[in-house]
């Protein structure tokens, strides 16, 4: 921890905080991320999004994950990491395409080097390691940052990915957002490991845990892990300890398995308030700048709202177009069946 929950530098933080510009950028990113979370929540209630797994309260992890990467690096997000994708520059409307039920991944992964949001737990991790391994074989200096949740660390894919990455010294940083729950399952029922960061040890991967609501500490730990991977020293596991302030998704009722007191306790450790308090106390942030950050966040919300509220006419052919470069005979047949069925429906109208 570099900044305590009241926004004061800790002993470790004195003299070793990231520079003011990085912290301001991080704060602006978190304010935009929170506004995006709020906006997406509203769009769900309006029936414009099918589902939204909110990262409200986890904005420091979301923004830091994007901020520590260079342009050519890759980010592998989960369904909860929409705000990280937005922070990396993916169009917010396209990011929500999948959750709206519009279109395959919703965005072009190659535009900002952000892999598709992955819903099956941990399956993105072996893919991330593959990309990192390929980069190493090609001699590029690409680093991959692969995100997953606390629950996902129980999945076989998590362990296989760590093992492969360690053996082949793949330039990948595994970033676990430990938000204390896997839907209704609390961490204590999920894992008996001393910490999730310990899970690297058996594979020969250094593990570090960090306060996931302390943007300064996250930038410090994650950027060191990324730099280390870039120099060829191999993978690292970082556990960010944070909290899922809202329900798992809009389809969940979190009051059935956790207390309001617990939520209140974590809300007091809010990542945005903490950094803002520090930056104001240091005279780095003033009202004009804070208003500009809020204005930019409002702009993201506005764009998101406008784009999601615009009805698109989906082309059913698209279901088949991007599955394989060369469609399989089965896909060709299925496409013909869909077209046939639709044309008959047209006939009945
Ligand atoms: C392979 C697989 N098994 C089960 C699920 C159902 N599922 C969706 S989210 C979730 C909990 C994941 O918890 P965690 O990894 O901590 O991520 P969080 O949702 O807290 O961000 C589960 C079990 C799934 N998506 N994929
Ligand atoms: Mg979790």
State pLDDT tens for residues 171-218.
Answer: 999 999 999 999 999 999 999 999 999 999 999 999 999 999 999 999
Question: Pocket of ligand 1, candidates 179, 183, 184: which has the most ligand atoms within 8 Å of its Cβ, to mutate?
Answer: 183
Cα gap 173→225, rounded to integer Å: 7
Could you list the active site residues?
Answer: 244, 248, 257
Q: What's the mean pLDDT in 20-36? A: 98
Residues with CB under 5 A from ligand 2 (ion): 149-150, 179, 182
Ligand 1 atom with minimal separation from the 123 CA: 1
Ligand 1 center to residue 216 CA distance, Å?
28
Q: 45 CA to middle of ligand 1, Å?
A: 22
Q: Which is higher by pLDDT, 27 or 15?
A: 27
Question: How confident is the model over 136-161, as a mean pLDDT?
Answer: 98
The average pLDDT across 298-318 equals 92
- Model pTM? 0.95
pLDDT recorded at residue 225: 98
Q: What pLDDT score was predicted for residue 312?
A: 80
Looking at residue 124, the DSSP 8-state letter turns out to be H
Model confidence at 321, pLDDT cuts 50, 70, 90, reads confident
CA distance 162 to 204: 9
Share above pLDDT 70 across residues of the chain, in percent, rounded to a whole number: 99
- Residue 183 Cβ < 6 Å to ligand 1: yes
Please tell me which residue, 105 or 13, carries the higher pLDDT value.
13
Q: Which CATH code fits 20-312?
A: 3.40.50.970
pLDDT bin (cut points 50, 70, 90) of residue 103 is: confident
Residue with tokens 């639709």: 342
**pLDDT > 90? residue 66:** yes
More confident residue, 15 or 63: 63
- With cut-offs at 50, 70 and 90, classify the pLDDT of residue 349: low
**In the structure encoding, which two tokens stand for residue 300, read together?**
């993201």
Does 184 contact ligand 1 (Cβ within 6 A)?
no
Regarding the beta carbon of 243 and ligand 1, being less than 6 Å apart is answered no
**Banded model confidence at residue 2, pLDDT cuts 50, 70, 90:** very high
pLDDT for the residue 249: 97
Exposure string (b/e) for 175-202, b if CB count within 10 Å is 16 or more?
A: bbbbbbbbeeeebeebbeeeebbebbee
- Structural domain boundaries of the chain? 20-312, 316-349
Residue 168, pLDDT > 80, answer yes
User: Virtual CA dihedral for 322, 326, 328, 331, nearest 10 degrees?
Assistant: 30
Q: What is the mean pLDDT of the chain?
A: 96
Provide the pLDDT for residue 302: 98
- Which atom of ligand 1 is the closest one to the Cα of 157? 1
What are the Cα distances from residue 174, in Å, to 144, 150, 206, 314?
8, 12, 11, 36
Instruction: Between 30 and 311, name the one with better pLDDT.
Output: 30
In this prediction, residue 285 carries a pLDDT of 98
Q: Is 150 in the pocket of ligand 1 (CB under 6 A)?
A: yes
How far does residue 269's CA lie from ligand 2's centre (Å)? 17
Using an 8 Å Cβ cutoff, are 188 and 154 in contact? no
| Ligand 1 atom at minimum distance from 148 CA | 15
Could you tell me how far CA 328 lies from the centroid of its own chain? 33
Ligand 1 pocket, residue 57 CB under 6 Å:
no
Helix axes 20-45, 287-309, angle to 10 degrees: 40
Q: Of all atoms in ligand 1, which is nearest to the CA of residue 152?
A: 15
CB of 154 within 6 A of ligand 1: the answer is no
Residue 246's pLDDT band, with cuts at 50, 70 and 90, is very high
Q: What number is the average pLDDT over the span 140-164?
A: 98
pLDDT at 12: 93
């Amino acid at each position: 921890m570099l900044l305590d929950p009241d926004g004061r530098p800790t002993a470790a933080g004195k003299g070793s905080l990231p520079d003011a510009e990085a912290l301001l950028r991080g704060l602006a990113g978190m304010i935009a991320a929170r506004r995006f979370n709020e906006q997406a929540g509203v769009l769900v209630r309006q029936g414009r999004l099918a589902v939204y797994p909110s990262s409200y309260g986890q904005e420091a992890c979301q923004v830091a994950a994007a901020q520590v990467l260079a342009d050519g690096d890759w980010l592998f997000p989960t369904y909860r990491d929409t705000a990280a994708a937005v922070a990396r520059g993916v169009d917010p409307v396209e990011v929500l395409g999948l959750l709206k039920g519009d279109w395959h991944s919703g965005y072009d992964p190659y535009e900002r080097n952000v892999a598709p949001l992955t819903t099956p737990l941990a399956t993105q991790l072996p893919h991330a390691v593959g990309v990192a391994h390929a980069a190493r074989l090609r001699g590029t200096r690409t680093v991959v940052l692969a995100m997953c949740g606390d629950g996902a660390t129980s999945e076989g894919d998590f362990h296989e990915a760590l093992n492969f990455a360690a053996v082949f010294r793949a330039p990948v940083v595994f970033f676990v957002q430990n938000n204390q729950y896997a839907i209704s399952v609390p961490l204590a029922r999920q894992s008996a490991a001393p910490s999730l960061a310990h899970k690297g040890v058996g594979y020969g991967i250094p593990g570090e845990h960090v306060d996931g609501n302390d943007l300064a500490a996250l930038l410090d730990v994650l950027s060191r892990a990324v730099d280390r991977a870039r120099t060829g020293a191999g993978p690292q596991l970082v556990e960010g300890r944070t909290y899922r302030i809202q329900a798992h998704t809009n389809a969940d009722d979190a009051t059935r398995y956790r207390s309001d007191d617990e939520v209140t306790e974590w809300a007091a450790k809010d990542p945005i308030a903490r950094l803002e308090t520090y930056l104001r106390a240091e005279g780095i942030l003033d009202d004009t700048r804070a208003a500009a950050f809020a204005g930019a966040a409002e702009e993201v919300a506005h764009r998101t709202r406008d784009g999601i509220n615009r009805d698109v006419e989906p082309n059913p052919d698209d279901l088949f177009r991007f599955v394989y470069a060369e469609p399989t005979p089965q896909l060709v047949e299925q496409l013909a069946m869909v077209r046939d069925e639709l044309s008959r429906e047209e006939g009945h109208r």
